[in-house]
Amino acid sequence: MKRKLTLKSIAKELGVSISTVSKALRDSPEISEETREKIKAYAKLYNYKPNNIALSLKNRKTNTIGVIIPQIVHHFFTTVIQGIEHEAREKNYNVIICLSNNDFDKEVLNMELLANGSTDGFILSVSKETMLKEDYHHLNEVIEQGMPVVMFDRVVDGIQCDRVLIDDKEGAKKGVTHMIRSGCRKIGIITSEDYVSVGRLRTEGYLDALDDFGIEPDDKRILKLDNIDDLNDKSKKRIEEFITKNDLDGVFTVNELFAVHASRVISGLGKKIPDDISLVCFTDGQLSEHAVPSLTAVSQHGEEMGRKAAAMLIDKLERPEDEEEEYSTAYIDTSLVERESTKEVIKR
């Protein structure tokens, strides 16, 4: 087993002091040309790389971003991470990803862990449990210690940090408006309970779209499920009931899973998509693209969101200390990806 080179071992080998080696490698003019060349040649030959841990300790800077997300088995988060990765890599930062599994305690634990020297700042999407508990002491703590935080997607108010949000309301409005323009009038929505911010906002967008066209909203056409992240049996049942008992010509859902199940139920009733019922969902992922029929979807541009979040964090990290703190919220635009589950817009 070959032991890693250190400044010390190089110094010993070449008969100079540690600081001479350090300075030579950093091209200090204090060191003579001759010595510098000799040391650099040796370092190169044996592939010397400084120890990151020692550098972090010395510089009190890790050049690492901590990302905390509720779950990774979720296409949207995955694309966000990809965006964070790309931006970070370009700006010479590393990324550490931790999963909270939608568990409050784990979120706190992960943050504490990473906050003890492992990262310079955080990008996070709070877990469902945290939103329910409304306990944000862990966020406030790291912020007080001077670590900047950027929240994305699932954000909460009253925290001193930057935010990156999907324009959920506008996105939902786009999707529903498209259905209305293509002739739908009796549109239902499958959404989540209001405490999940994205669910609430998308519901608002839905209502906005109806309002724009003078369509009266109807509570019976709004289904609020309590789990937005997966599709359990209870949710399946409620979707079946919702679609079977309502007289609808369009359904908007806040995620792909709800849409895929709705699609199945609709087909099972012998109805045609989009001729009898149109279907639009939020989140453009694998399922929307490959389902049969493929689903018209509101694309969230997760990658862009990740890039933006990382850019905002790095910006804060590299801002001179004396500069005034200012927090902003960035919105990432959505776009509608038209596929087989909706009809053409009626032109006048």
Partner DNA sequence: TAACTGAACTTAATCGATTTAGTCGTGTAA
Partner DNA sequence: TTACACGACTAAATCGATTAAGTTCAGTTA
Residues that bind DNA (CB under 7 A): 4-8, 15-20, 22-23, 25-26, 30-32, 34-35, 50-51, 54-55, 57-60
CA angle 101, 105, 110 (to 5 degrees): 75
For position 9 contacting a second copy by CB under 8 A, the verdict is no
227 or 267: whose CB is closer to a second copy? 267
- Residues from 53 through 82 that contact a second copy (CB under 8 A): 53-54, 56-57, 62, 72-73, 75, 78-79, 81-82
Please give the Cα distance from 257 to 231 (Å, whole number).
6
For position 96 contacting a second copy by CB under 8 A, the verdict is yes
Please give the Cα distance from 245 to 262 (Å, whole number).
13
Q: How far is the CB of 37 from DNA (least distance, A)?
A: 10
15 or 214: whose CB is closer to DNA? 15
Q: Taking the CB of residue 298, how many other CB atoms lie within 10 A of it?
A: 29
Amino acid at 204: E
For position 266 contacting a second copy by CB under 8 A, the verdict is no
For position 322 contacting a second copy by CB under 8 A, the verdict is no
Please give the Cα distance from 296 to 310 (Å, whole number).
29
Contacts of 327 (CB under 8 A, 6+ apart): 160, 161, 162, 163
Amino acid at 29: P
* The one segment of 20-28, 143-151, 192-200, 241-249 that binds a second copy by CB under 8 A: 143-151
User: Which run of H or of E encompasses 149?
Assistant: strand 149-152
> Of these partners, a second copy, DNA, none, which one is at the site of residue 16 (CB under 5 to 8 Å by kind)?
DNA
> Of these partners, DNA, a second copy, none, which one is at the site of residue 17 (CB under 5 to 8 Å by kind)?
DNA
Please give the Cα distance from 176 to 326 (Å, whole number).
35
Q: How far is the CB of 325 from DNA (least distance, A)?
A: 22
Please give the Cα distance from 81 to 97 (Å, whole number).
8
* The one segment of 7-15, 47-55, 163-171, 309-317 that binds a second copy by CB under 8 A: 47-55
Q: How far is the CB of 145 from DNA (least distance, A)?
A: 11
Q: 162-166 and 222-225 as β-strands: parallel, antiparallel, unpaired?
A: unpaired
Q: In this structure, what DSSP letter does residue 74 have?
A: S
Residues 178 and 251 sit within 8 Å (Cβ to Cβ) = no
Q: Which of 27, 34, 134, 286 binds a second copy (CB under 8 A)?
A: 286
| Burial class of residue 222, CB neighbours in 10 A (0-12, 13-18, 19+) | middle
For position 50 contacting a second copy by CB under 8 A, the verdict is yes
16 or 337: whose CB is closer to DNA? 16
> Of these partners, DNA, a second copy, none, which one is at the site of residue 88 (CB under 5 to 8 Å by kind)?
none
- How far is CA 263 from its chain centroid? 27
For position 292 contacting a second copy by CB under 8 A, the verdict is yes
Task: Write out the residues near a second copy by the rule CB under 8 A.
Answer: 1-4, 47, 49-54, 56-57, 62, 72-73, 75, 78-79, 81-82, 85, 94-99, 112-113, 115-118, 141, 144-146, 257, 260-261, 263-264, 267, 286-287, 290-292
